[in-house]
A = this chain, B = another copy of it.
């Protein structure tokens, strides 16, 4: 936790003082080993970042006086479309994408996604937000990404994706593609990453018909966890 993310209901009514309990309280004590008077990086959800100075510490909570004076880091101008990964992996990928500055993530069904993945308890809004917040705390950001679940491939690609990708360069990461992933592109991007085993030909055709281009990071097939930071770091 390189930044303590604060929410409106952490504030003591009409003050600049917040009260932390639970996970964040324990982290400040056990990991930061902070004591009264120490200053820590804080950020207000969907708002600015700044500093919190610890005022009191009890057995179960602490108070901090906070001030916000700085914009959070720039977001990546990308919409990330991911074939829904395995439950264990989806948590790490959400955390990592959130840390990297992605602000819109679509979890999409496709042929090689196992149906059971959609039943995962990690796909509740609460579980998703937990991972997104961990990513923000890691990278000192405050802007919560939006995650959309799209359990039907065809209506998403036909009806929703054309509007969503408008004005962006749209790429499908595909190990067989001839075109290498562009570097430092300086444009807004819509990036689709397939499941283990890849998109099937029908899905590739639908994405090409929607205006996507196939790009590759080389002949190595990477897991989605490795591919996402590798692709984003090369594109931006």
Contact B223 A226 (CB under 8 A): no
Q: Mark A101-124, 1 if CB is under 8 A from B, else 0.
A: 100000000000000000000000
A92 to chain B, nearest CB (A): 7
Residue in contact with A222 in the complex, picked from B92, B99, B221, B234, CB distance below 8 Å: B99
Residue in contact with A220 in the complex, picked from B101, B219, B227, CB distance below 8 Å: B101
Q: In this assembly, does A174 line the interface, its C-beta being within 8 Å of a C-beta of chain B? A: no
Contact B100 A230 (CB under 8 A): yes
Contacts A183-B183, A225-B96: A73 and B230 contacting too (C-beta < 8 A)?
no
Residue in contact with A100 in the complex, picked from B101, B183, B222, CB distance below 8 Å: B222
Size of the A side of the interface (Cβ < 8 Å), in residues, is 30
User: For A221, what are the chain B residues with a Cβ–Cβ distance below 8 Å?
Assistant: 2, 138-140
A143 to chain B, nearest CB (A): 12
Q: In this assembly, does A77 line the interface, its C-beta being within 8 Å of a C-beta of chain B? A: no
Q: In this assembly, does A231 line the interface, its C-beta being within 8 Å of a C-beta of chain B? A: yes
User: For A222, what are the chain B residues with a Cβ–Cβ distance below 8 Å?
Assistant: 99-100, 138-139, 229
A197 to chain B, nearest CB (A): 9
User: For A217, what are the chain B residues with a Cβ–Cβ distance below 8 Å?
Assistant: 233
User: For A232, what are the chain B residues with a Cβ–Cβ distance below 8 Å?
Assistant: 230
User: For A95, what are the chain B residues with a Cβ–Cβ distance below 8 Å?
Assistant: 223
Q: In this assembly, does A141 line the interface, its C-beta being within 8 Å of a C-beta of chain B? A: yes
Q: Which of chain B's residues has its CB closest to A137's CB?
A: B221
Which chain A residues (198-236) contact chain B, with CB distance < 8 Å? 217-223, 225-227, 229-234
Contact A99 B223 (CB under 8 A): yes
7 closest pairs, A vs B, by CB?
A139-B220, A230-B233, A229-B230, A229-B229, A96-B226, A233-B233, A73-B219
Residues of A within 8 A of B (CB): 2, 73, 92, 95-96, 99-101, 138-141, 183-184, 217-223, 225-227, 229-234
